[in-house]
Structure 1
Amino acid sequence: MALEWEQVVIDAADPAGLARWWADQLGWVFVNEDEAGDEYEIRPSPDRLPGLLFVPVPDSRTVKNRLHLDFRPDDQEAEVERFLSAGARRVDVGQGTPTWVVLADPEGNEFCVLRSREP
């Protein structure tokens, strides 16, 4: 049996806007803008998987994410500041003083910026 991970689907009130925000933050490209204009997929490049697919969901998020993305940058502090200046916000999920920073995108979806790898 062959199985390939295609994408992570993210519910959004504004799928186009949220997809654009994530594409800008990750330096990814749009590979699918649904004909009806309500689903947007971004990937590292058109032929690389997995991607992120943003779909419309009218319900607002009311509890903590059950799934989130983790990113490991070369410079954690610089990446956190870059995300914050682009509209992300810090989130306290009871993490104490870990080696990662929890942020939320413009629609409140949480993600983590991990510490940089040791050389």
Structure 2
Amino acid sequence: MVIRWEALTIDARDPFSLAQWWAETLGWRLTDPVPGGVEVQEPGGRAPSLFFVAVDDPKSVKNRLHLDLYAGDHEATLDGLLARGASRVSVGQPAEAEWTVLADPEGNEFCLLEPR
């Protein structure tokens, strides 16, 4: 049996707006919305996509799955993400962590890794 990872599906109160935020964040492209949600794809189509679906309930607990992101200029990227609506969050990470935990505009956690 061969299985291929196709997409990571993310619940959202406003799927189009959140998909647009992530497309801009990653430099990916937003596909045409479909009745089930909105997809964000890597321009070359090599990576699994992010698929945003509508839910009525607000996010209430820490996600059990999150994205780890890397950028060459950590501080400039962090400043840019915060200016665009991300927020710093604490999920119990150690003070000396080599990553910064953030949340997107709907509260979904993700990590920005320090340069190696």
Match among 30, 48, 56 for residue 50 of structure 1: 48
Match among 30, 37, 40 for residue 38 of structure 2: 40
- Number of equivalences: 115
Tell me the secondary structure at the aligned position of residue 77 of structure 1.
Answer: helix
Q: How high is the sequence identity, in percent, across the aligned residues? A: 50
Aligned residue in 2 for 1:4: 4
Q: How far apart, CA to CA, are the structure 2 residues paired with 1:74 and 1:64?
A: 27
Q: How far apart, CA to CA, are the structure 1 residues paired with 2:112 and 2:61?
A: 20
Tell me the secondary structure at the aligned position of residue 9 of structure 2.
Answer: strand
For structure 2, the residue ranges without an aligned partner over 5 or more in a row are none
For structure 1, the residue ranges without an aligned partner over 5 or more in a row are none
Task: Look up the equivalent residue of 2:74 and give its one-letter code.
Answer: Q
Q: How does 1:1-119 map to 2 (within 5 A)?
A: 1-34=1-34, 36=35, 38-45=36-43, 47-97=45-95, 98-117=97-116
Task: Look up the equivalent residue of 2:100 and give its one-letter code.
Answer: V
> What TM-score do you get using the length of structure 2 for normalisation?
0.92
Q: 4+ runs of 1 displaced by more than 2 Å? A: 46-49
